Structure 1
Amino acid sequence: MPELAEVARIVHFLRQHLVGKTLSKVQAQHDDVIYGKVGTSAAEFQKAMQGKKVIGAGQQGKYFWITMSSPPHAVMHFGMAGWLKIKDTDTYYYRSDKPADQEWPPKYWKFLLETSDEPKSEAAFVDARRLGRIRLVECPADEIRNHTPLKENGPDPVADKDIVTAAWLGEKLKSKKVPIKALLLDQANISGIGNWMGDEILYHAKIHPEQYSNTLSNDQVKELNTAMHYVCSTAIDVLADSEKFPEHWLFKHRWSKGKKNQSSTLPNGDKITFLTVGGRTSAVVPAVQKKTGAVSKDVNEQPANGTAANSKRKRGVKMEEDSEFDEKPDVKSRGSKKASASAVKEDEEDEEKPSVGRRRSTRSRK
């Protein structure tokens, strides 16, 4: 699932190609899930956008929006596999090598936008799995975050860095008794953090993902806050292009899970193991991420070669099966695997269980 950094990538391209331009042509194909589940329709979307000028684009975590010259405004969410394409522009943090993906209009489009201003831009929202959402919000442009669905979500660690401080985070952690990884993934607490970003943040903070949030020391809270801002801002600065992530990041070395005779190891030799937290596969570096307080349960760790260190059923712990979705895309950043029904609620929109899949890039690997 596109996370905070990947969504920031799209906001960048929206500002570059659509903001300041008038939409001369808008087409929308009705989908009773993508539009209908949030109370609108393709016809309403088309009418609301047609002929208006795009005056801005913004983001709160995994949600993003385009504000128009007059209300309503479009607020969107990619779900598991949605994306926004701009004709003749590489907006991808992944890219398929299928020739059909170069076609225009693209397959599985939900709306098409075309500007009248030169140079003309064409954009398309695509979603094969129909887990994304497109809605209209009736309000002044500068009040969009005060309305559903944004008001129900927590602050964005980049857009709201003045809110997401060590003091604020400490109070949030103390108010709940849940595994720290689950707390980070819950969008009601903090917007935008998904599976890979959560793992990266906890690795840099040297915190075990299963440790209860209310057991972290003041020093650990400070480390967590620092790590959160570091990971989020760094990933956004490079527009989620993982080729440009620092070489020592966990992200660069975690993708051997489930492959025989391969192990995931950091450049310094520390091994990466895998466990399940809140229904998600979590990458952990045991040499760094020690359990310093109570944890929600004993967890079986799984080496990167797929051979369980202990039986999957030992102590009643269920470990996630390997899947191709846990493999690294060829070049750029990836989406996270959908949680099971019992897992932490990631956000209000993820109501369906998608099938497992992965994304590839056409850019050659180095």
Structure 2
Amino acid sequence: MPELAEVARIVHFIREHLVGKTLSKVAAQHDDIVFGKAGTSASEFQEALKGKKIAGAGQQGKYFWITMSSPPHVVMHFGMAGWLKIRNADTYYYRTEKAEDKEWPPKYWKFLLETDDDPKTEAAFVDFRRLGRVRLVDCPADEIRNYSPLKENGPDPVIDKHIVTEEWLTDKLRSKKVPIKALLLDQTNISGIGNWMGDEILYHAKIHPEQYSNTLNEDQIKHLSSAMHYVCATSVDLLADSEKFPEDWLFKHRWGKGKKNQSSVLPNGEKITFLTVGGRTSAIVPSVQKKTGPVTKGADDKSVEGTEGNSKRKRSAVQKQEDDSDEESQPKRSASKKQSKSKTTIKEEEKDNTSSGRRRSTRVKN
């Protein structure tokens, strides 16, 4: 799933290629999930945007928006595998050589935009998993964060750095008794942190993901606050280009770059292992991330050494083997239960509250 850094990348490209331009053509294919679940339709979307000027773009965690010259404005969420393509622009956070990724209009498009300038700019929202959301929000542009769905989510650790202080974080941790990894992933607490970012933050903070949030001491909270701002700000500044991530980051070594079932290791030789926290696969470095207090009841102390996949990532913060998945770690379900899970997943994706840990795989194959 695209996380805070990946969404920041697309907002950057929207500002670079679309802001300030007028839309001459708008096409949308109705999808009763992507549009319908967000309370709008393809026809309403087309009518609201056609002929208008794109005034700006912004972000709050995993949500992002395009403001128009007049309301309503467009608020979007990529879900598990959505993306916004801009023709002839390198918007993707991973490199792809597949011919179909160069086709236009792209496969699985939900809406297409075309500007009136010469040369024209073309953009498309694509989502083959249909877990993304596209909605119209009728409000003044500068008040968009005061309306649903943004108002239900927590502050963004980058754009709301003045809010997400060490004191604020202390109060948040003390008010809940949940595994710290689950707290970080819950978008009602903090917007934008997903699985890989949560693991990276906890690694740098030297905190075990299963430890209860209300048991962290002052030094641990200080390290957690520092690590959060460091990881989030650095990855956003680099526009999720993992080739530019620091070499000592967990992200650079967690994807199983060796033979299958071979332990992943950091440059200093420390082993990376994997365990499940709240139904989510977590990468940890046991020699660094010690349990210093009570952990979630029933936590399995047996972490698994090995690869998290044999990914071909080149620039990706999310690509072929997405660690934001719990499919492989869960027992097989009956057909009826699988159907139930699918409906639940869609509902949770709408809320983007990851604390439950029940998500489907986001393996985007390239």
| TM-score above 0.5 | yes
2:324 corresponds to = 337
SS of residue matched to 1:84 = strand
1:316 corresponds to = none
Structure 2: 5+ residue runs without aligned partners?
Answer: 328-340
Change in CA separation of 1:287 and 1:347 when aligned onto 2, cut-off 3 Å = farther
2:364 corresponds to = 358
* Paired residues for 1:179-328 under 5 Å: 179-256=179-256, 260-297=260-297, 298-305=299-306, 327=311
Shift of 1:333: 1.4
The residue type paired with residue 299 of structure 1 is D
- Give the distance between the partners of 1:80 and 1:258, measured in 2 at CA: 27
Change in CA separation of 1:279 and 1:201 when aligned onto 2, cut-off 3 Å = same
Shift of 1:295: 0.4
Change in CA separation of 1:249 and 1:338 when aligned onto 2, cut-off 3 Å = same
Structure 1 contact 187–346 (Cα < 8 Å) conserved = no
Shift of 1:358: 3.3
Moved more, 240-249 or 90-99: 90-99
Change in CA separation of 1:247 and 1:328 when aligned onto 2, cut-off 3 Å = same
Structure 2 contact 75–136 (Cα < 8 Å) conserved = yes
RMSD value, Cα: 2.2
SS of residue matched to 2:181 = helix
1:318 corresponds to = none
- Give the distance between the partners of 2:353 and 2:294, measured in 1 at CA: 30
Aligned length: 342
Over residues 34-86 of structure 1, what are the superposed CA-to-partner deviations in whole Å (9 max), with x where a residue is unaligned? 00011100000000000000000000000000000000000000000000000
* Paired residues for 1:53-72 under 5 Å: 53-72=53-72
2:142 corresponds to = 142
SS of residue matched to 2:47 = helix
SS of residue matched to 2:265 = coil
Change in CA separation of 1:31 and 1:215 when aligned onto 2, cut-off 3 Å = same
- Give the distance between the partners of 1:350 and 1:170, measured in 2 at CA: 21
Structure 1 contact 24–116 (Cα < 8 Å) conserved = yes
Structure 1 contact 94–329 (Cα < 8 Å) conserved = yes
The residue type paired with residue 329 of structure 1 is R
Structure 1 contact 185–346 (Cα < 8 Å) conserved = no
TM-score by length of 2: 0.88
Structure 1 contact 131–349 (Cα < 8 Å) conserved = no
Over residues 273-324 of structure 1, what are the superposed CA-to-partner deviations in whole Å (9 max), with x where a residue is unaligned? 1000111100000111111111013324334336xxxxxxxxxxxxxxx7x5
1:162 corresponds to = 162
TM-score by length of 1: 0.88
Structure 1 contact 257–263 (Cα < 8 Å) conserved = no
Shift of 1:256: 1.6
1:15 corresponds to = 15
Shift of 1:338: 4.0
Shift of 1:331: 3.1
- Give the distance between the partners of 1:339 and 1:72, measured in 2 at CA: 37
SS of residue matched to 1:168 = helix
Structure 2 contact 131–349 (Cα < 8 Å) conserved = no
2:3 corresponds to = 3
Q: What percent identity do the matched residue pairs reach?
A: 71
Structure 1: 5+ residue runs without aligned partners?
Answer: 307-321, 361-366
Shift of 1:350: 7.9
Does the alignment pair 1:42 with 2:26? Answer: no
1:311 corresponds to = none
